[in-house]
């Protein structure tokens, strides 16, 4: 099938790799020097944990071509840049558009796409648990992932209809890549920030290097997420994926999460690829997501959040972070 991946960061490129492996006709939209490298050398990915390198040759373009049609489009952009591509997405001849990544305005984005669309579209939302970084000097991506990879995907609210699920599933047939269909992606995307923002706060507190964190700070990070999940429950927001909040409690799953935090702190390469690299390069997105999540917290101001507030208070203010990152001064 013919697929467009709109965005060529780590997540978009890995998704393009898996789609190529499934035998699809894949087009990857990229910009600038990275586009030139992809056109010249192909899509080269170093899979860090798997200790292997892959090379694919998707068609690479720098902009949408009017006559092109696609069976599915995956838009993979940072939250702060997604709004700017909604009009081009609406203009693409494709029955399915999947917005992949952090998103605190999914309903508004869906309305915008459908309002402007040139054809009937089904808008889905997804989140792929893949991390890493670009190495432009070597013309490759370094990718951190568990197994073949997976995406949590679904409609804004309610179950995705069977024909749409079948079409998307067929794109990744026999690759081992897992599609986890969620019943409410708006709730999922809110819940995801309850897990991610405390890691972000601690990364900034430690000057972009989690090896500088203490055991007390890492425990505070887990307890902050625990409070956030409890606050969302108190607002009637379903926890998705179901049971994820249990990884921030006091049982075995909580111990597993604490061990993961320990690994991110003690193994610098893993900590960088999983969290810190994104915080360093996507500080504008993280600031915007933090502002949007504060609005969710404000819906229930009486709910106790002492660990969340303590952890966030330790990091520099966003003005200082903006200046530091814009200068590229974080290590």
Task: Give 135's pLDDT tier (boundaries 50, 70, 90).
Answer: confident
Task: Give 330's pLDDT tier (boundaries 50, 70, 90).
Answer: very low
Burial 14-43 (b: 16+ CB within 10 A, else e): bbbbbbbbbebebbbbbeeebbebbeeeeb
Tens-place pLDDT, residues 235-276:
999 999 999 999 999 899 999 999 999 999 999 888 888 889
pLDDT at 211 over 60: yes
| Environment class of 105 (CB within 10 Å of its CB; exposed 0-12, middle 13-18, buried 19+) | middle
DSSP state at residue 247: G
- Residue 279, C-beta contacts closer than 8 angstroms, at least 6 positions apart: 200, 203, 204, 208, 286
Say how far apart CA 121 and CA 73 lie, in whole Å.
11
Task: Give 327's pLDDT tier (boundaries 50, 70, 90).
Answer: low
CATH of 2-183, one of 3.30.70.20, 3.40.720.10, 3.30.1490.20, 3.40.50.720: 3.40.50.720
Q: Dihedral of the CA atoms 36, 73, 11, 200 (nearest 10)? A: 120
Three-state secondary-structure class, residue 307: helix
Note the pLDDT of residue 326: 85
Note the pLDDT of residue 274: 86
Of the CA atoms within 13 Å of residue 44, those in its CB half-sphere come to 13
Q: How many of the other CB atoms lie within 10 Å of CB of 247?
A: 20
Rounded average pLDDT over 195-220: 95
pLDDT at 137 over 90: no
Tens-place pLDDT, residues 242-251:
999 999 998 9
- Walk across the sheet containing 52-56 and list its strands: 52-56, 43-47, 140-144, 131-135
pLDDT at 331 over 50: no
Say how far apart CA 11 and CA 6 lie, in whole Å.
11
Per DSSP, helices labelled H in the chain are: 10-21, 32-41, 79-82, 86-91, 106-116, 162-171, 185-205, 215-234, 252-266, 268-271, 277-281, 283-298, 306-314, 318-326
Tens-place pLDDT, residues 6-18:
999 999 999 999 9
Q: How many of the other CB atoms lie within 10 Å of CB of 233?
A: 13
pLDDT at 198 over 50: yes
Tens-place pLDDT, residues 43-59:
999 998 899 999 999 99
Quote the strand ranges of 32-181, DSSP E: 43-47, 52-56, 59-61, 72-76, 96-100, 122-128, 131-135, 140-144, 150-154, 178-181
Note the pLDDT of residue 329: 41
Dihedral sign, CA of 289, 290, 291, 292?
positive
Note the pLDDT of residue 65: 80
pLDDT at 125 over 90: yes
Average pLDDT, the chain: 94
| Environment class of 45 (CB within 10 Å of its CB; exposed 0-12, middle 13-18, buried 19+) | buried
Residue spans per domain, the chain? 2-183, 187-326
DSSP state at residue 84: G
Three-state secondary-structure class, residue 131: strand
């Amino acid at each position: 099938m013919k697929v467009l991946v709109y965005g060529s960061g780590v997540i978009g490129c890995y998704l393009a790799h898996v789609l190529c492996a499934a035998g699809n006709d894949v087009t990857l939209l990229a910009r600038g020097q990275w586009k030139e490298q992809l056109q010249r050398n192909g899509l080269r990915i170093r899979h860090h944990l798997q200790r292997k390198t892959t090379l694919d040759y998707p068609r690479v373009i720098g902009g949408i071509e009017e006559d092109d049609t696609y069976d599915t489009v995956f838009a993979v952009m940072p939250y702060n840049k997604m709004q700017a591509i909604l009009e081009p997405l609406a203009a693409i001849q494709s029955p399915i558009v999947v917005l992949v990544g952090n998103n605190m305005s999914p309903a508004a984005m869906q309305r915008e796409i459908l309002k402007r669309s040139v054809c009937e579209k089904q808008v889905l939302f997804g989140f792929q648990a893949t991390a890493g970084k670009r190495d432009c000097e070597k013309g490759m991506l370094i990718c951190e992932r568990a197994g073949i990879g997976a995406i949590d995907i679904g409609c804004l609210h309610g179950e995705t209809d069977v024909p749409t699920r079948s079409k998307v599933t067929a794109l990744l047939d026999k690759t081992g890549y897992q599609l986890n269909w969620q019943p409410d992606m708006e709730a999922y995307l809110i819940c995801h920030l309850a897990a991610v923002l405390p890691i972000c706060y601690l990364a900034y507190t430690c000057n972009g290097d989690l090896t500088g964190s203490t055991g007390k700070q890492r425990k505070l990070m887990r307890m902050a997420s625990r409070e956030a999940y409890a606050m969302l429950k108190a607002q009637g927001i379903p926890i998705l994926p179901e049971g994820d909040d249990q990884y921030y409690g006091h049982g075995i799953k909580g111990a597993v999460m604490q061990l993961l935090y320990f690994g991110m702190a003690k193994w610098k390469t893993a900590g960088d690829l999983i969290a810190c690299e994104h915080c360093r390069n996507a500080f504008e997105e993280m600031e915007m997501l933090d502002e949007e999540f504060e609005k969710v917290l404000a819906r229930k101001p009486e709910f106790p959040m002492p660990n969340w507030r303590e952890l966030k208070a330790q990091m520099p203010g966003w003005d200082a972070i903006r200046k530091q990152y814009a200068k590229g001064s974080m290590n």
